[in-house]
Every structure is written in structure tokens, then in C-alpha cells.
Amino acid sequence: MQQEHKRAIQLNFSSLVDRTDLKMMVSALYEKGVFSEAMLEPYSNENISQLDRKRHLFHAITRRGPEAFAKLTEALVEMGQWDLVRDLDPNSPVHPRSNRPELRLNMPRKLTQ
């Protein structure tokens, strides 16, 4: 992982820990190949607090290779955490999707005489 990406995770560490769902994130990162099945056990160990497991997760991501940051941001997008993506990468083209269709009003034009 590039130093700038490690730094972004460090700067946003508290937000990442506070605002992400541990099970969803671990599952997404496993599916994306960031973690192997053998590496998942610490994140499901209920003898460790969820807060500590999340902290461990985000520390571990910084050591998971050059693609880990991109896969982390992909997972955050999939979870709807666009604000965290923008915090990690201010140049990200990510914008929240609206579930509502765009409302367009067709106003009548003034009739000219």
C-alpha cells in the first residue's frame, strides 16, 4: 500500500472504526481477496471487543498489499459510505446515488403576442 493511502487510513481511523459494520466489511474484503479465509478468525472472536476487532481490521488493511486501499474504498462504496470514501480520497469521483428519480417540472412558456 502506498504511504499516502496508509496516511489517509490513519487520519480517518476513528471514523472508519466508528462508522463501518465489522461483519459487512470483513465479508467484503474477503470476497475482494484482501483477506484469506484463514485470516478471518480474529474478526469473529467474540472474546475480543468489537471495537478492538475493528481497530485490528483497519491496521491489518494497511499491510495487505498495493490493491488493498482500492478494495477498501470499493467496499465502502458498496456499503453506501460515500462520505468515508471522500474522506479517504478527496479526489474520488464518488457521489451518493439518489434513490428518487429526478423531478423535472415542465413550466409553460409565456405566450408572446
Going residue by residue through the chain (113 aa), what tens digit of pLDDT does each one get?
999 999 999 999 999 999 999 999 999 999 999 999 999 999 999 999 999 999 999 999 999 999 999 999 999 999 999 999 999 998 887 765 444 444 455 555 555 54
Cα 74-19-98 angle, rounded to 5 deg: 60
- Res 106: pLDDT: 55
| Cβ pair 39, 53 in contact under 8 A | no
- Res 107: pLDDT: 52
What is the torsion angle, in degrees rounded to the nearest 10, for the CA atoms of residue 59, residue 33, residue 75 and residue 55?
Answer: -20
Distance separating alpha carbons of residues 58 and 60, to the nearest angstrom: 5
- Res 100: pLDDT: 44
Domains of the chain, start order: 3-88 (1.10.533.10)
Distance separating alpha carbons of residues 75 and 43, to the nearest angstrom: 17
Say whether 96 sits in a helix, a strand or coil.
Answer: coil
- Res 62: pLDDT: 96
Radius of gyration of the chain (CA): 20
